[in-house]
Structure 1
Amino acid sequence: MSDITVIFGFDSETDVGSWTPFYEGLQKGTPRLLDLLAQKGVVSTFFFTGDAAMQHPEIVKQVAAAGHEVGAHSLYHETVGDPIFEIPGVKPLLPEEVPLRVRRATEAVASALGEQPVSWRCPRLWGSTAVVNALEELGYIADASYPLYYYREQLVPYHPSREDWTKKGDSKVLQIPNFADMTIES
């Protein structure tokens, strides 16, 4: 049997995404995940919101010390990209606001980590052209925000267009499609 490569990541944010100020899952779950990943020999990426990194820099350092990548996941789990569906009470950032917000998230995670993150994932997988362009400007290498279940075009990693992030182009950022089974009931 040959080896296969799977990209595995965790979003590290407040409990219940944007709706609570609590970090119980992050505080209690991360050490357990790190133990499990170590037992199985799996290396992963943990995408921290800037707020989570500022509130719990010790967890960011634990993740990095365990050999995992630390990426960024917005500042406060806000909608930085193009909304795919409506969520009551959730307003997306204007495209003009995106570069500053991405930079602030990057600075917060970098402060906790001790170096700039090079991977990003948008909350809810709601990416956008403005996000990809801001990431490229900041020197990011990868973005894992493309929801395959919605756009259904890019099956493998690709470099997006600077005019339409869902199309192939010549951005320096590598877009890594996310696979999700939207038929699973909670």
Structure 2
Amino acid sequence: MQIKNYLTIDVEDYFHVSAFEKISPPSTWSERQSRVERNTEVVLTLLEEASVKATFFVLGWVAEKYPQLVPRIAAAGHEIASHGFLHQRVALQDRDTYREDIRRSKQLLEDQSGEAVAGYRAPSYSITRETDWAFEELLEAGYQYDSSIFPMQHDFYGIPDWPRFSGYAVKNGQSWQDREQPEEGQLAIKELPITTLRLGNRNLPIAGGGYFRLLPYSVTRWGLKRINCKEKQPFVFYLHPWEFDPEQPRMEGCSAKSRFRHYLNLSRTEARFKQLIRDFDFGPIAGEA
């Protein structure tokens, strides 16, 4: 029997990504050509053809601007979860602003879908040791699980020593620590980190995004099968609708590194994704985690 893995789609537009935050502040978003409806429809069609369900972490700004999108995703049988309201990294917000952001998004998504929203993913996986206070805000807002931690080092995100597979973030004094299970009475939230591949003494990215476009598909498949077959663990895979859109407008003024990360192999995403959902068994997070 195949292990059921978690397929997650972060619903944001190409101009929302953190790599473009300096050249694309929220005040400019309404002026830009949006592609998110079209691109999300591409993903929904591919999933429907393969009879696969997923968790869609929807940005509140997108849901508000396109109020028909969340009901469309929910009607197709997918889980609706929150990606916050504005795509701002946690470290760039004060606690009051963050509190308002995650609550505003949750309420909007619940109103549009008619269902409770249990899950959250921070923009750019930006819950770190320095911003772990976010866990308490998520619990107080009514979220049941988080999928924001990337157990590796990156310039925008990462907690390299966090466990690679699902567990709990548990409050211990003034900080939050990982635990397989919380003790009775402990403040805790379920955590499903982005999956990494352990080789030697390093965690390496293997489960989505730019890494999916950078690595040959054979390498991705080998790494993910190793996680399922050797470690006997499900993996959390993620993609964004804009990654299926090689014709998207090019952002002017971004760095060479950001340009490389964002535009690399966009034309290959769709074919690789079709192969991925043939090679592995997938489902949403809700009801499985």
TM-score of the two chains, using structure 1 as the length reference: 0.83
Q: Residue 276 of structure 2 aligns with which residue?
A: none
The 1:23/1:61 distance shift into structure 2, 3 A limit, reads: farther
Q: Deviations over 1:53-103 (max 9, x none)?
A: 1111211001000000011111111122x4xxxxxxxxx001343222211
* Mapped pair 1:34 → 2:34: no
Structure 1 residue 49: deviation in Å? 1.2
Partners in 1 of 2:103 and 2:71 — Cα distance? 20
Secondary structure of the residue aligned to 1:53 is helix
Aligned partners of 1:118 and 1:139 also within 8 Å:
yes
Partners in 2 of 1:97 and 1:130 — Cα distance? 13
Q: Residue 192 of structure 2 aligns with which residue?
A: 176
* Mapped pair 1:164 → 2:167: no
Aligned partners of 1:142 and 1:174 also within 8 Å:
yes
Aligned partners of 2:53 and 2:77 also within 8 Å:
yes
The 1:33/1:148 distance shift into structure 2, 3 A limit, reads: same
Partners in 2 of 1:172 and 1:68 — Cα distance? 26
Alignment RMSD: 2.2
Partners in 2 of 1:23 and 1:69 — Cα distance? 27
Letter in 1 for 2:54: S
Letter in 2 for 1:135: L
Structure 1 residue 111: deviation in Å? 2.5
Secondary structure of the residue aligned to 2:6 is coil
Q: Residue 144 of structure 1 aligns with which residue?
A: 147
Q: Which shows bigger deviation, 132-141 or 57-66? A: 132-141
Q: Percent identity?
A: 22
Aligned partners of 1:57 and 1:113 also within 8 Å:
no
Unpaired stretches in structure 2, ≥5 consecutive residues: 18-23, 154-158, 196-204, 215-260, 265-289
Partners in 1 of 2:177 and 2:48 — Cα distance? 35
Structure 1 residue 132: deviation in Å? 1.4
The 1:23/1:3 distance shift into structure 2, 3 A limit, reads: farther
Q: Residue 85 of structure 1 aligns with which residue?
A: none
Which 4+ stretches in 1 moved above 4 angstroms?
A: none
Larger Rg: 2
Q: Residue 15 of structure 2 aligns with which residue?
A: 16
Secondary structure of the residue aligned to 1:173 is strand
Question: Among residues 160, 164, 181, which one is paired with 1:155 in the alignment?
Answer: 164
Q: Residue 87 of structure 1 aligns with which residue?
A: none
Structure number with the higher strand fraction is 2
Q: Which shows bigger deviation, 19-28 or 65-74? A: 19-28
Q: Which shows bigger deviation, 173-182 or 2-11? A: 173-182
Higher relative contact order (CA 8 A, sep 6+): 2
Partners in 1 of 2:121 and 2:50 — Cα distance? 24
TM-score of the two chains, using structure 2 as the length reference: 0.55
Q: Deviations over 1:114-154 (max 9, x none)?
A: 23311110000001322211111122111110112232321
Q: Deviations over 1:31-70 (max 9, x none)?
A: 1211111122211011111111111121100100000001
Secondary structure of the residue aligned to 1:6 is strand
